[in-house]
C-alpha cells in the first residue's frame, strides 16, 4: 500500500490478489463510506487494473490487481464515485457500476483458478 499526496487530491495505491472479502472491505470504506471520516467531504474514485504476472509463481491461482483510489472534493455535478476496470493492456478501461465491477473481478479470479486446474477435457469429466 502507498499513499500519494494525502493533502490535496491524494491517491491510495494497493497491489492485491483481491479476493471477494478484500474487495468488499475496500469498497465498503472508500465507495460506501463505512467508517471513513472523510466520506462527507470527498469522493474516492477507483481505477482497477489487472496485472500481468509480476512474479514467477507457476502455480498461482489468483490474478493480481493494482487499485488506485483517487480522492476528489465532493461535487453535486458528479456525486458518485467513478469505478473503472482495465482487464488487459490492449483494451480500454470500462466504467462500471459497483455490482458489475464486483462480478467481473470474481469472474476473472474464477477463470484463473479453473484454467490452471484444467489441462485437458476428457469425456465424462466432472468439475
Which range has the worst mean pLDDT, 11-20, 36-45, 92-101, 117-126? 117-126
Give the CA radius of gyration of the chain: 17
Residue 83 is predicted with a pLDDT of 96
Mean pLDDT for 102-126 is 74
C-alpha cell at 118: 484444467
Task: Please name the residue ranges forming H helices in 11-97.
Answer: 20-30
Grid cell, residue 74, equals 465532493
Taking only the tens place, the pLDDT of each residue in 40-80 is 888 999 999 998 765 555 556 778 899 999 988 888 788 88
Q: Predicted confidence band at 24 (pLDDT cuts at 50, 70, 90)?
A: very high
Q: Rounded to whole angstroms, how far apart are CA atoms 55 and 71? A: 30
Cell of 15: 497491489
> Does residue 16 or residue 115 have the better pLDDT?
16
Write down the pLDDT at residue 49.
94
pTM, to two decimals? 0.78
| Cα gap 99→95, rounded to integer Å | 12
As a whole-number percent, the residues of the chain with pLDDT over 90 amount to: 43
In this predicted structure, the answer to whether residue 9 has a pLDDT above a threshold of 80 is no
Q: Distance between CA atoms of 125 and 106, rounded to whole angstroms? A: 24
Check pLDDT > 70 for residue 118. no
Return the beta strands (E) in 21-119 as ranges.
42-51, 64-73, 83-86, 94-95
CB 41 within 8 A of CB 74: yes
Amino acid at each position: 500500500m502507498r499513499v500519494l499526496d494525502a493533502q490535496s487530491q491524494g491517491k491510495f495505491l494497493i497491489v492485491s490478489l483481491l479476493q471477494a472479502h478484500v474487495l468488499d472491505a475496500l469498497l465498503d470504506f472508500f465507495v460506501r463510506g463505512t467508517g471513513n471520516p472523510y466520506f462527507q467531504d470527498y469522493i474516492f474514485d477507483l481505477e482497477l487494473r489487472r496485472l500481468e504476472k509480476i512474479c514467477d509463481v507457476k502455480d498461482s491461482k489468483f490474478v493480481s490487481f493494482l487499485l488506485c483510489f483517487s480522492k476528489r472534493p465532493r461535487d453535486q455535478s458528479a456525486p458518485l464515485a467513478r469505478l473503472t476496470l482495465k482487464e488487459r493492456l490492449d483494451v480500454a478501461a470500462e466504467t462500471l457500476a459497483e455490482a458489475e465491477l464486483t462480478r467481473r473481478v470474481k469472474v476473472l479470479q474464477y477463470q484463473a483458478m479453473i484454467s490452471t486446474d484444467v489441462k485437458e477435457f476428457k469425456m465424462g469429466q466432472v468439475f
